[in-house]
Amino acid sequence: MPIDKRVANAAEALADVPDGATVFISGFGGAGFPNVLIRALHDRGPKDLTLVVNSATHRYSYTHELIEAGLVRKVVCTAARGHSKEPSAFERLWMDGKIELECMPQGTFSERIRAGGAGIPAFYTPVGFGTELAKGKEVRSFGGRDYVLEQAMTGDLALVRADTADRYGNLSFRYAQMNFGPVMATAARLAVAEVRAVLDEPLPHERVQLPGVYVDRVVAVEA
Protein backbone atom coordinates (compact mmCIF):
# COMPACT_ATOMS: atom_id res chain seq x y z
CA MET A 1 0.00 0.00 0.00
CA PRO A 2 1.39 3.45 -0.88
CA ILE A 3 2.44 5.64 2.03
CA ASP A 4 -0.13 8.32 2.78
CA LYS A 5 0.10 10.17 6.10
CA ARG A 6 -2.74 12.58 5.41
CA VAL A 7 -5.51 12.70 8.01
CA ALA A 8 -8.92 14.24 7.38
CA ASN A 9 -8.93 16.65 10.32
CA ALA A 10 -7.20 17.58 13.57
CA ALA A 11 -9.68 15.72 15.76
CA GLU A 12 -8.96 12.47 13.92
CA ALA A 13 -5.21 13.08 14.12
CA LEU A 14 -5.36 13.32 17.93
CA ALA A 15 -8.09 10.80 18.67
CA ASP A 16 -5.74 8.42 20.52
CA VAL A 17 -3.84 10.86 22.78
CA PRO A 18 -3.97 9.40 26.33
CA ASP A 19 -4.11 11.03 29.75
CA GLY A 20 -0.68 11.77 31.20
CA ALA A 21 0.99 12.37 27.84
CA THR A 22 4.09 14.54 27.47
CA VAL A 23 3.33 16.93 24.61
CA PHE A 24 5.90 18.98 22.67
CA ILE A 25 4.41 22.09 21.06
CA SER A 26 6.38 24.14 18.52
CA GLY A 27 6.34 27.92 18.26
CA PHE A 28 8.60 30.91 18.82
CA GLY A 29 7.94 34.65 18.58
CA GLY A 30 4.96 34.93 16.26
CA ALA A 31 5.59 31.84 14.16
CA GLY A 32 5.06 28.11 14.11
CA PHE A 33 2.20 27.66 16.59
CA PRO A 34 0.06 24.59 15.75
CA ASN A 35 -3.07 26.26 17.08
CA VAL A 36 -5.57 24.12 15.19
CA LEU A 37 -4.02 20.99 16.70
CA ILE A 38 -3.82 22.60 20.15
CA ARG A 39 -7.52 23.42 20.05
CA ALA A 40 -8.33 19.89 18.90
CA LEU A 41 -6.30 18.54 21.82
CA HIS A 42 -8.28 20.83 24.13
CA ASP A 43 -11.55 19.50 22.73
CA ARG A 44 -10.43 15.89 23.18
CA GLY A 45 -9.60 16.68 26.81
CA PRO A 46 -6.78 14.35 27.94
CA LYS A 47 -5.79 15.15 31.53
CA ASP A 48 -2.54 15.40 33.49
CA LEU A 49 -0.55 16.56 30.48
CA THR A 50 3.05 17.72 30.61
CA LEU A 51 3.55 20.54 28.09
CA VAL A 52 7.02 21.13 26.68
CA VAL A 53 6.79 24.54 25.04
CA ASN A 54 9.08 27.54 24.63
CA SER A 55 6.71 29.93 26.44
CA ALA A 56 3.95 29.10 28.89
CA THR A 57 2.23 32.44 28.39
CA HIS A 58 2.66 33.46 24.73
CA ARG A 59 -0.33 35.45 23.50
CA TYR A 60 -0.24 33.91 20.00
CA SER A 61 -0.31 30.33 21.25
CA TYR A 62 -3.49 28.50 22.28
CA THR A 63 -1.61 26.56 24.95
CA HIS A 64 -3.28 28.83 27.50
CA GLU A 65 -6.59 27.14 26.62
CA LEU A 66 -5.18 23.76 27.71
CA ILE A 67 -3.92 25.31 30.94
CA GLU A 68 -7.15 27.19 31.70
CA ALA A 69 -9.14 23.99 31.15
CA GLY A 70 -7.17 22.22 33.89
CA LEU A 71 -5.70 19.65 31.51
CA VAL A 72 -2.04 20.41 32.31
CA ARG A 73 -0.15 19.05 35.31
CA LYS A 74 3.30 20.45 34.44
CA VAL A 75 4.89 22.96 32.06
CA VAL A 76 8.49 22.68 30.87
CA CYS A 77 9.54 25.94 29.20
CA THR A 78 12.07 28.75 28.83
CA ALA A 79 9.68 31.62 29.64
CA ALA A 80 6.93 31.49 32.23
CA ARG A 81 6.12 35.14 32.84
CA GLY A 82 3.51 36.94 30.76
CA HIS A 83 3.77 40.46 29.33
CA SER A 84 0.48 41.72 30.74
CA LYS A 85 0.12 43.56 34.05
CA GLU A 86 -2.39 40.91 35.09
CA PRO A 87 -1.14 37.36 35.79
CA SER A 88 -1.79 34.80 33.08
CA ALA A 89 -3.79 31.64 33.70
CA PHE A 90 -0.55 29.73 34.08
CA GLU A 91 0.90 32.26 36.55
CA ARG A 92 -2.21 32.16 38.71
CA LEU A 93 -2.19 28.36 38.86
CA TRP A 94 1.52 28.27 39.59
CA MET A 95 1.28 30.81 42.41
CA ASP A 96 -1.58 28.73 43.88
CA GLY A 97 0.54 25.58 43.72
CA LYS A 98 -1.83 23.91 41.26
CA ILE A 99 0.62 23.40 38.38
CA GLU A 100 4.30 22.41 38.21
CA LEU A 101 6.99 24.41 36.42
CA GLU A 102 10.41 23.45 35.09
CA CYS A 103 12.17 26.44 33.54
CA MET A 104 15.54 26.48 31.77
CA PRO A 105 17.66 28.52 29.34
CA GLN A 106 16.46 28.32 25.74
CA GLY A 107 19.64 26.70 24.40
CA THR A 108 19.48 23.99 27.08
CA PHE A 109 15.79 23.48 26.28
CA SER A 110 16.48 22.95 22.58
CA GLU A 111 19.52 20.73 23.15
CA ARG A 112 17.71 18.50 25.65
CA ILE A 113 15.05 17.83 23.02
CA ARG A 114 17.62 17.34 20.23
CA ALA A 115 19.53 14.89 22.43
CA GLY A 116 16.34 12.96 23.08
CA GLY A 117 15.75 12.62 19.35
CA ALA A 118 19.35 11.57 18.73
CA GLY A 119 19.30 8.88 21.42
CA ILE A 120 21.78 10.73 23.65
CA PRO A 121 20.65 10.25 27.28
CA ALA A 122 22.43 13.29 28.76
CA PHE A 123 25.08 15.92 28.04
CA TYR A 124 27.28 18.40 29.89
CA THR A 125 26.87 22.15 29.42
CA PRO A 126 28.51 25.17 31.14
CA VAL A 127 25.17 27.01 31.05
CA GLY A 128 23.63 27.43 34.49
CA PHE A 129 26.68 26.43 36.52
CA GLY A 130 26.76 28.27 39.85
CA THR A 131 23.07 29.22 39.69
CA GLU A 132 19.81 27.79 41.04
CA LEU A 133 19.37 26.05 37.67
CA ALA A 134 22.20 23.66 38.57
CA LYS A 135 20.87 22.80 42.02
CA GLY A 136 20.84 19.04 42.60
CA LYS A 137 22.51 18.27 39.25
CA GLU A 138 25.81 16.52 38.66
CA VAL A 139 28.74 18.84 37.92
CA ARG A 140 32.06 17.82 36.34
CA SER A 141 35.15 19.72 35.29
CA PHE A 142 36.55 19.48 31.76
CA GLY A 143 39.62 21.47 30.75
CA GLY A 144 39.44 23.55 33.88
CA ARG A 145 35.82 24.57 33.35
CA ASP A 146 32.77 23.29 35.24
CA TYR A 147 29.83 21.76 33.41
CA VAL A 148 26.32 20.74 34.47
CA LEU A 149 24.81 17.41 33.44
CA GLU A 150 21.45 17.85 31.71
CA GLN A 151 19.07 14.98 30.90
CA ALA A 152 17.64 14.50 27.42
CA MET A 153 13.88 14.98 26.89
CA THR A 154 11.55 12.73 24.93
CA GLY A 155 7.80 12.94 24.54
CA ASP A 156 4.68 11.03 23.63
CA LEU A 157 3.41 13.60 21.13
CA ALA A 158 4.80 16.50 19.10
CA LEU A 159 2.48 19.11 17.61
CA VAL A 160 4.21 21.01 14.81
CA ARG A 161 3.19 23.79 12.43
CA ALA A 162 4.71 23.77 8.93
CA ASP A 163 3.86 25.39 5.61
CA THR A 164 3.72 22.47 3.18
CA ALA A 165 3.76 18.68 3.39
CA ASP A 166 3.54 15.85 0.93
CA ARG A 167 1.60 12.63 1.37
CA TYR A 168 4.77 10.97 2.71
CA GLY A 169 5.01 13.39 5.64
CA ASN A 170 7.98 15.41 4.38
CA LEU A 171 7.70 19.00 5.64
CA SER A 172 8.74 22.42 4.41
CA PHE A 173 8.59 25.42 6.75
CA ARG A 174 8.15 29.13 6.10
CA TYR A 175 10.99 31.21 7.59
CA ALA A 176 10.92 31.34 11.44
CA GLN A 177 8.02 28.88 11.45
CA MET A 178 10.64 26.12 11.59
CA ASN A 179 11.96 26.96 15.10
CA PHE A 180 11.61 23.94 17.46
CA GLY A 181 9.48 21.79 15.14
CA PRO A 182 12.16 19.50 13.68
CA VAL A 183 13.85 18.60 16.96
CA MET A 184 10.50 18.07 18.68
CA ALA A 185 9.33 15.70 15.95
CA THR A 186 12.48 13.59 16.23
CA ALA A 187 12.10 13.26 20.02
CA ALA A 188 8.42 12.24 20.14
CA ARG A 189 6.82 8.84 19.71
CA LEU A 190 4.04 10.42 17.62
CA ALA A 191 4.52 13.58 15.54
CA VAL A 192 1.54 15.38 14.00
CA ALA A 193 1.92 18.38 11.69
CA GLU A 194 -0.64 20.96 10.66
CA VAL A 195 0.15 22.59 7.33
CA ARG A 196 -1.23 25.06 4.83
CA ALA A 197 -1.22 22.49 2.02
CA VAL A 198 -0.52 18.79 1.42
CA LEU A 199 0.85 17.79 -1.98
CA ASP A 200 0.07 14.54 -3.80
CA GLU A 201 3.52 14.51 -5.36
CA PRO A 202 6.73 14.34 -3.31
CA LEU A 203 8.26 17.60 -2.16
CA PRO A 204 11.44 18.40 -4.12
CA HIS A 205 14.32 17.14 -2.03
CA GLU A 206 15.87 20.60 -1.71
CA ARG A 207 12.68 21.84 -0.03
CA VAL A 208 12.46 19.06 2.59
CA GLN A 209 13.40 20.54 5.98
CA LEU A 210 12.00 17.69 8.08
CA PRO A 211 11.99 14.21 6.52
CA GLY A 212 8.75 12.25 6.65
CA VAL A 213 10.39 9.44 8.61
CA TYR A 214 9.92 11.67 11.68
CA VAL A 215 6.31 12.65 10.92
CA ASP A 216 3.37 10.30 11.49
CA ARG A 217 0.32 12.36 10.52
CA VAL A 218 -0.32 15.56 8.54
CA VAL A 219 -3.44 17.71 8.51
CA ALA A 220 -4.20 20.50 6.04
CA VAL A 221 -5.77 23.48 7.84
CA GLU A 222 -6.85 26.96 6.85
CA ALA A 223 -4.40 29.76 7.61
Interval 170-199: pLDDT, tens:
999 999 999 999 999 999 999 999 999 999
Task: Give the pLDDT confidence score for residue 223 in this predicted structure.
Answer: 63
In-domain check, residue 189:
yes
pLDDT digits (tens, 9 = 90+) for 44-77: 999 999 999 999 888 888 999 999 999 999 999 9
Distance CA 7, CA 140 (A): 47
Cβ neighbours of residue 16 closer than 8 Å, sequence gap 6 or more: none
CATH number at residue 175: 3.40.1080.10
In-domain check, residue 42:
yes
What's the number of domains the chain is made of? 1
Q: How many CB atoms lie within 10 A of CB 138?
A: 12
In-domain check, residue 2:
no
In-domain check, residue 82:
yes
Return mean pLDDT, the chain: 95
Segments in the chain below pLDDT 70: 1, 82-83, 223
